[in-house]
Structure 1
Amino acid sequence: MHRFAIYDLDKTITYAPTWTSFLLLASRLIAPWRLLLLPVLGAVTIGYALKLVGRGRLKELAHALLIGPRVPVAKLEAVAALFAEGVVPGETYAGARARIAADRAEGYEVLIATASYALYVRAIAERLGVGTVIGTLAEVRDGYVLARISGENCYGPAKLRMIEAWLAGQGIARGEATVRFYSDHVSDAPTLAWADEAFAVNAHAPLREMAKARGWAVVDWERQPRNLLPLGRN
């Protein structure tokens, strides 16, 4: 029997969402002039709120506006490494890091499954000692990262499909695996319901209510006080 502990990333392991922070850092380091396009991105975000733009398309447009439509892989990997240094451990819950270590000690293979782009989450995962990331994939062509999603945006039901596809790719049937899944958001309800053990972590109100109704464990990890963070973090 295979054992997997699968974690969402944003607000489950990290204090806050990571995509916007990564975008801004990448923009500053790769093409600072693109920060002038933030008002355009704001307009696109309003379109998303009005349901005129889909979640995946919003990501693509944000990528194109703030990073560029075509960026060398090596450049983004360098930014990802720098970004991850600022996230781990300073912007991650100590409780999450401890639980990852505990799962690993119990014989679980730890994965991260996130709607965020795998292109930078892999650097965060590496610093957490996590070897597998299931996330939204950017299209890569001829050594360049394009501002287009390859496949599905790893969100909601698509996240579960991508986890199942990963298991199938490993040659593992669902009945051959025990799965724990951790998430803060109700959008992950399909995967939480699919898991053998579901954990609502730092859950917002809708997920907290759902967890209570379905008998899922509810876990709250506290933020580390800022004055206890390593020097240089802010």
Structure 2
Amino acid sequence: WFALKQLRFAARGEHLGDIHQIRDRALMMVRGIPVSEIEKIGNEIYDEYIEPKLWTGTVAIARQHRTVGREVWLVTATPLEVANVISQRLELTGALGTVVASEDGFYTGALASPILHAAEKAQAVRTLAKARGISLSKSWAYSDSYNDVPLLEAVGHPVCINPDARLRAYAKRRGWQVYDFRTGQRAAKLGLKAAGVLGALWAARRSILRRSGS
């Protein structure tokens, strides 16, 4: 049930009502379940649902950033265990996700931190950037959701990919770059979002590159 709700959430977008419903039901159901079991489900979800629907253009952008030595982080409301699987399979630097509390390898049924959504994503990225000596003014953020405007505004290079209507209009007003990989077809929203990039894909120059002025 939890996995299917995650997919439904990815398909429909980040609606706050859905987020709270997923949170409450999922926390109730995973209480006492081994963390390793959710990690296993994460791999199954990636193999069966995510990988076949990845936008090749989005993957290419992430790989390009990695090739030139930039860190690339997945930032998503998805539980961290699932986000980590996605990040590892896409060979990203790492992931930031919603942290579910656990004790001795089992979920307690509570959250260890707020759901990583909207402004929470921007704050998480600021904290990570400070810890790793990264300049956000020289960093990129990618998203398709208007809910991620706080994160997009936190970096020097905001980019919208397959944006929803509100984000497209906002990007036009702000003069932000927009990529649309939907070539005349109705948006298959599971693409970017199911990849976890509904959270956002954040690429940052390493501090060594920042110091060299590159």
Give the shorter-chain TM-score range: 0.7 to 0.9
> Structure 1 residues 22 and 118 mapped into 2: Cα distance closer, same or farther (>3 Å)?
farther
Q: For 1:19 and 1:121, how far apart are their aligned partners in 2?
A: 16
Of the structure 1 ranges 137-146 and 196-205, higher mean CA displacement relative to structure 2 is found in: 137-146
Deviation (angstroms), 1:95: 1.0
Deviation (angstroms), 1:75: 1.5
Task: Return 5+ residue gaps in structure 2 as ranges.
Answer: 9-15, 189-214
* Residue of structure 2 equivalent to 1:156: 118
Deviations 1:53-81 (A, max 9, x none): xx4x433312035x432211122222122
* Residue of structure 2 equivalent to 1:218: 178
Q: For 1:158 and 1:88, how far apart are their aligned partners in 2?
A: 24
Residue 182, structure 1, aligned to residue 151, structure 2: no
* Residue of structure 1 equivalent to 2:74: 112
Read off the aligned partner of 1:200 and give its amino acid letter: C
The normalised TM-score by structure 2 is: 0.73
Q: How many residues align?
A: 177
Read off the aligned partner of 2:130 and give its amino acid letter: A
* Residue of structure 1 equivalent to 2:5: 20
The normalised TM-score by structure 1 is: 0.67
Deviations 1:73-105 (A, max 9, x none): 122222122222224521211111111111222
Percent of pairs with identical residues? 20
User: Do 2:142 and 2:161's aligned partners in 1 also have CA atoms closer than 8 Å?
Assistant: yes
User: SS state of the match for residue 206, structure 1?
Assistant: helix
Read off the aligned partner of 2:110 and give its amino acid letter: R
Q: For 1:68 and 1:22, how far apart are their aligned partners in 2?
A: 17
* Residue of structure 2 equivalent to 1:14: none
Task: Return 5+ residue gaps in structure 1 as ranges.
Answer: 1-17, 24-46, 50-54, 227-234
User: Do 1:19 and 1:117's aligned partners in 2 also have CA atoms closer than 8 Å?
Assistant: no
Q: For 1:82 and 1:98, how far apart are their aligned partners in 2?
A: 23
Deviation (angstroms), 1:130: 1.0
Q: For 1:21 and 1:58, how far apart are their aligned partners in 2?
A: 11
RMSD of aligned residue pairs (Cα, Å): 2.7
Instruction: Please tell me whether Structure 1 or Structure 2 has the larger radius of gyration of its CA atoms.
Output: 1
